[in-house]
Amino acid sequence: MSGQRTVLVWISCLVALLLAGLFAKSWTGTRDHDNGAAERAVLDAGFDHEAIQLSGEEEKREAAIHGGRFHKPLRTYVDHPGVDQPELTAIDDANLVDETPVIGIEVDGRFIALVMEKMMDPLAHIVNMNFGGEKSVSVSYCYLADCVRVVSKESKTPIPLHVGGMDVDNQMVYLLDGERYGQMSPVLPLADYPFERTTLGDWRKLHPHSQICVPPSRASIEHRIPGKKSHTNG
Protein backbone atom coordinates (compact mmCIF):
# COMPACT_ATOMS: atom_id res chain seq x y z
CA MET A 1 0.00 0.00 0.00
CA SER A 2 2.83 2.35 0.84
CA GLY A 3 4.30 1.64 -2.59
CA GLN A 4 1.04 2.49 -4.32
CA ARG A 5 0.74 5.71 -2.33
CA THR A 6 4.25 6.65 -3.34
CA VAL A 7 3.42 6.09 -7.03
CA LEU A 8 0.24 8.15 -6.73
CA VAL A 9 2.17 10.95 -5.06
CA TRP A 10 4.71 10.92 -7.91
CA ILE A 11 1.96 10.96 -10.53
CA SER A 12 0.22 13.87 -8.77
CA CYS A 13 3.48 15.82 -8.70
CA LEU A 14 4.12 15.21 -12.41
CA VAL A 15 0.59 16.32 -13.32
CA ALA A 16 0.98 19.45 -11.20
CA LEU A 17 4.31 20.25 -12.87
CA LEU A 18 2.84 19.76 -16.35
CA LEU A 19 -0.13 21.99 -15.57
CA ALA A 20 2.15 24.67 -14.12
CA GLY A 21 4.33 24.56 -17.25
CA LEU A 22 1.36 24.90 -19.59
CA PHE A 23 0.01 27.85 -17.62
CA ALA A 24 3.39 29.58 -17.58
CA LYS A 25 3.81 29.16 -21.38
CA SER A 26 0.31 30.47 -21.99
CA TRP A 27 0.87 33.52 -19.81
CA THR A 28 4.27 34.27 -21.38
CA GLY A 29 2.81 34.09 -24.89
CA THR A 30 0.00 36.43 -23.91
CA ARG A 31 2.48 38.84 -22.38
CA ASP A 32 4.72 38.74 -25.47
CA HIS A 33 1.69 39.37 -27.67
CA ASP A 34 0.63 42.28 -25.49
CA ASN A 35 4.15 43.70 -25.46
CA GLY A 36 4.37 43.40 -29.24
CA ALA A 37 1.07 45.18 -29.70
CA ALA A 38 2.14 47.89 -27.28
CA GLU A 39 5.47 48.29 -29.07
CA ARG A 40 3.72 48.61 -32.43
CA ALA A 41 1.38 51.19 -30.93
CA VAL A 42 4.37 53.23 -29.73
CA LEU A 43 6.03 53.00 -33.14
CA ASP A 44 2.82 53.97 -34.92
CA ALA A 45 2.40 56.93 -32.60
CA GLY A 46 5.90 58.14 -33.48
CA PHE A 47 5.53 57.52 -37.22
CA ASP A 48 6.79 60.64 -39.03
CA HIS A 49 4.56 61.10 -42.04
CA GLU A 50 6.34 64.33 -42.94
CA ALA A 51 9.62 62.43 -43.10
CA ILE A 52 8.05 59.96 -45.51
CA GLN A 53 6.81 62.86 -47.64
CA LEU A 54 10.30 64.34 -47.56
CA SER A 55 11.71 60.99 -48.59
CA GLY A 56 9.36 61.00 -51.56
CA GLU A 57 10.58 64.47 -52.54
CA GLU A 58 14.15 63.24 -52.23
CA GLU A 59 13.39 60.35 -54.56
CA LYS A 60 11.82 62.79 -57.02
CA ARG A 61 14.92 64.96 -56.82
CA GLU A 62 17.24 62.04 -57.46
CA ALA A 63 15.15 60.95 -60.44
CA ALA A 64 15.30 64.46 -61.93
CA ILE A 65 19.05 64.69 -61.45
CA HIS A 66 19.48 61.54 -63.53
CA GLY A 67 17.31 62.94 -66.31
CA GLY A 68 13.58 63.15 -66.79
CA ARG A 69 11.12 62.54 -69.59
CA PHE A 70 11.58 66.01 -71.03
CA HIS A 71 15.04 67.10 -69.92
CA LYS A 72 18.63 65.91 -69.74
CA PRO A 73 20.35 65.00 -66.46
CA LEU A 74 20.76 67.96 -64.13
CA ARG A 75 23.90 69.57 -62.81
CA THR A 76 21.86 71.72 -60.44
CA TYR A 77 18.38 71.11 -59.03
CA VAL A 78 16.45 74.21 -57.94
CA ASP A 79 12.98 75.70 -57.83
CA HIS A 80 13.18 79.45 -58.44
CA PRO A 81 9.86 81.13 -59.27
CA GLY A 82 9.98 83.46 -62.23
CA VAL A 83 9.78 87.22 -61.75
CA ASP A 84 6.06 87.98 -61.96
CA GLN A 85 4.73 91.30 -63.19
CA PRO A 86 7.92 93.38 -62.97
CA GLU A 87 7.72 97.14 -63.19
CA LEU A 88 7.62 98.68 -66.69
CA THR A 89 8.74 102.24 -67.38
CA ALA A 90 9.10 104.49 -70.41
CA ILE A 91 12.11 103.59 -72.50
CA ASP A 92 13.56 107.10 -72.23
CA ASP A 93 13.56 106.91 -68.43
CA ALA A 94 16.29 104.26 -68.36
CA ASN A 95 19.89 105.46 -67.96
CA LEU A 96 21.17 102.87 -70.43
CA VAL A 97 23.32 103.34 -73.51
CA ASP A 98 22.05 102.39 -76.96
CA GLU A 99 24.31 99.30 -77.04
CA THR A 100 22.46 97.65 -74.15
CA PRO A 101 21.33 94.13 -75.21
CA VAL A 102 17.57 93.65 -74.94
CA ILE A 103 14.85 91.15 -75.80
CA GLY A 104 12.03 92.91 -77.58
CA ILE A 105 8.42 91.70 -77.66
CA GLU A 106 5.03 93.08 -78.65
CA VAL A 107 1.87 92.09 -76.79
CA ASP A 108 -1.53 93.45 -77.79
CA GLY A 109 0.00 96.56 -79.30
CA ARG A 110 2.40 97.18 -76.41
CA PHE A 111 6.15 97.10 -77.12
CA ILE A 112 8.47 96.04 -74.32
CA ALA A 113 12.27 95.72 -74.14
CA LEU A 114 13.71 93.48 -71.42
CA VAL A 115 17.29 94.19 -70.30
CA MET A 116 19.21 90.94 -70.72
CA GLU A 117 22.00 91.76 -68.28
CA LYS A 118 19.56 91.81 -65.37
CA MET A 119 18.25 88.39 -66.44
CA MET A 120 21.69 86.82 -65.91
CA ASP A 121 20.80 86.29 -62.25
CA PRO A 122 19.29 82.76 -61.92
CA LEU A 123 16.51 84.29 -59.84
CA ALA A 124 15.60 86.47 -62.83
CA HIS A 125 16.15 84.02 -65.71
CA ILE A 126 12.37 84.00 -66.29
CA VAL A 127 9.98 86.95 -66.42
CA ASN A 128 6.24 86.18 -66.36
CA MET A 129 3.86 88.90 -67.54
CA ASN A 130 0.19 89.51 -68.13
CA PHE A 131 -1.20 92.87 -69.20
CA GLY A 132 -4.80 92.48 -68.15
CA GLY A 133 -5.93 90.64 -71.26
CA GLU A 134 -6.34 87.02 -72.26
CA LYS A 135 -2.67 86.44 -73.16
CA SER A 136 0.22 85.83 -70.78
CA VAL A 137 3.84 85.84 -71.93
CA SER A 138 6.98 84.45 -70.29
CA VAL A 139 10.46 85.55 -71.39
CA SER A 140 13.46 83.41 -70.45
CA TYR A 141 17.20 83.87 -70.89
CA CYS A 142 19.97 81.39 -70.07
CA TYR A 143 23.27 83.23 -70.38
CA LEU A 144 25.45 80.11 -70.06
CA ALA A 145 23.91 78.64 -73.21
CA ASP A 146 23.13 82.13 -74.58
CA CYS A 147 19.61 80.93 -75.23
CA VAL A 148 16.41 83.00 -75.34
CA ARG A 149 12.91 81.56 -75.50
CA VAL A 150 9.60 83.38 -75.23
CA VAL A 151 6.38 81.43 -74.69
CA SER A 152 2.73 82.32 -74.25
CA LYS A 153 -0.57 80.97 -73.01
CA GLU A 154 -4.17 82.12 -73.18
CA SER A 155 -4.62 83.12 -69.56
CA LYS A 156 -5.65 86.09 -67.43
CA THR A 157 -2.85 85.44 -64.94
CA PRO A 158 0.94 85.11 -65.41
CA ILE A 159 2.22 81.69 -66.42
CA PRO A 160 3.62 79.93 -63.29
CA LEU A 161 6.93 79.19 -65.02
CA HIS A 162 9.89 78.51 -62.72
CA VAL A 163 13.60 77.83 -63.11
CA GLY A 164 13.92 74.12 -62.29
CA GLY A 165 17.65 73.61 -62.68
CA MET A 166 20.53 73.48 -65.13
CA ASP A 167 21.28 70.43 -67.24
CA VAL A 168 24.62 68.82 -68.13
CA ASP A 169 24.87 71.05 -71.21
CA ASN A 170 24.58 74.19 -69.04
CA GLN A 171 21.12 74.91 -70.35
CA MET A 172 18.27 76.07 -68.16
CA VAL A 173 15.52 73.63 -67.24
CA TYR A 174 11.99 74.89 -66.69
CA LEU A 175 9.65 73.78 -63.93
CA LEU A 176 5.97 74.06 -64.89
CA ASP A 177 3.13 72.53 -62.88
CA GLY A 178 5.45 70.00 -61.23
CA GLU A 179 7.10 68.83 -64.46
CA ARG A 180 10.59 69.74 -65.70
CA TYR A 181 11.39 70.58 -69.32
CA GLY A 182 14.58 71.57 -71.08
CA GLN A 183 14.47 75.22 -72.10
CA MET A 184 14.13 74.29 -75.78
CA SER A 185 11.99 71.17 -75.23
CA PRO A 186 9.52 70.75 -78.12
CA VAL A 187 6.93 69.23 -75.79
CA LEU A 188 6.67 72.20 -73.41
CA PRO A 189 2.89 72.76 -73.21
CA LEU A 190 3.19 76.46 -74.07
CA ALA A 191 3.15 78.23 -77.42
CA ASP A 192 6.34 79.82 -78.75
CA TYR A 193 6.03 83.58 -79.07
CA PRO A 194 7.89 85.92 -81.45
CA PHE A 195 10.69 88.10 -80.07
CA GLU A 196 13.73 90.02 -81.23
CA ARG A 197 17.24 90.05 -79.80
CA THR A 198 18.58 93.49 -80.46
CA THR A 199 20.01 96.59 -78.81
CA LEU A 200 18.15 99.25 -76.92
CA GLY A 201 19.05 101.86 -79.53
CA ASP A 202 17.76 99.83 -82.48
CA TRP A 203 14.58 98.89 -80.61
CA ARG A 204 13.96 102.51 -79.66
CA LYS A 205 14.27 103.61 -83.29
CA LEU A 206 11.57 101.13 -84.31
CA HIS A 207 9.38 101.64 -81.24
CA PRO A 208 10.02 105.06 -79.69
CA HIS A 209 7.05 104.70 -77.31
CA SER A 210 8.17 101.30 -76.04
CA GLN A 211 8.37 100.45 -72.37
CA ILE A 212 11.42 98.92 -70.75
CA CYS A 213 11.64 96.12 -68.18
CA VAL A 214 14.63 95.98 -65.84
CA PRO A 215 13.87 92.84 -63.78
CA PRO A 216 14.85 93.10 -60.10
CA SER A 217 17.92 90.93 -59.64
CA ARG A 218 21.42 90.73 -58.19
CA ALA A 219 23.04 91.10 -61.61
CA SER A 220 24.71 94.37 -62.50
CA ILE A 221 24.33 96.43 -65.66
CA GLU A 222 27.46 97.51 -67.52
CA HIS A 223 25.70 99.69 -70.09
CA ARG A 224 24.73 102.67 -67.93
CA ILE A 225 24.96 106.31 -68.94
CA PRO A 226 27.26 107.97 -66.38
CA GLY A 227 25.60 110.70 -64.38
CA LYS A 228 22.06 110.13 -65.65
CA LYS A 229 19.42 109.43 -63.04
CA SER A 230 17.44 106.24 -63.60
CA HIS A 231 13.69 105.85 -63.08
CA THR A 232 13.92 102.04 -63.26
CA ASN A 233 14.48 99.57 -60.42
CA GLY A 234 17.79 98.40 -61.91
Backbone angles phi, psi at 206, to 5 degrees: -80, -35
Cβ contact 119:219 at 8 Å: yes
Which among 136, 135, 141 has a CA at the least distance from the CA of 163? 141
3-state secondary structure of 105: strand
Domain range list for the chain: 76-213
Average pLDDT, the chain: 81
Query: For residue 144, how far is the Cα from the chain centroid?
Result: 20
What is the maximum alpha-carbon separation in the chain?
134
**pTM beyond 0.75:** no
Question: Which strands sit side by side in the sheet containing 101-107, from one edge to the other?
Answer: 88-90, 211-213, 110-115, 101-107, 196-199
Residue range 79-127, pLDDT digits in tens = 999 999 999 999 999 889 999 999 999 999 999 999 999 999 999 999 9
Half-sphere exposure of 117 toward its Cβ, with a 13 Å CA cutoff? 14
Spell out the residues 6+ positions from residue 89 whose beta carbon is closer than 8 angstroms to its own.
Answer: 211, 212, 214, 231, 232
Rounded mean pLDDT, 174-198 = 98
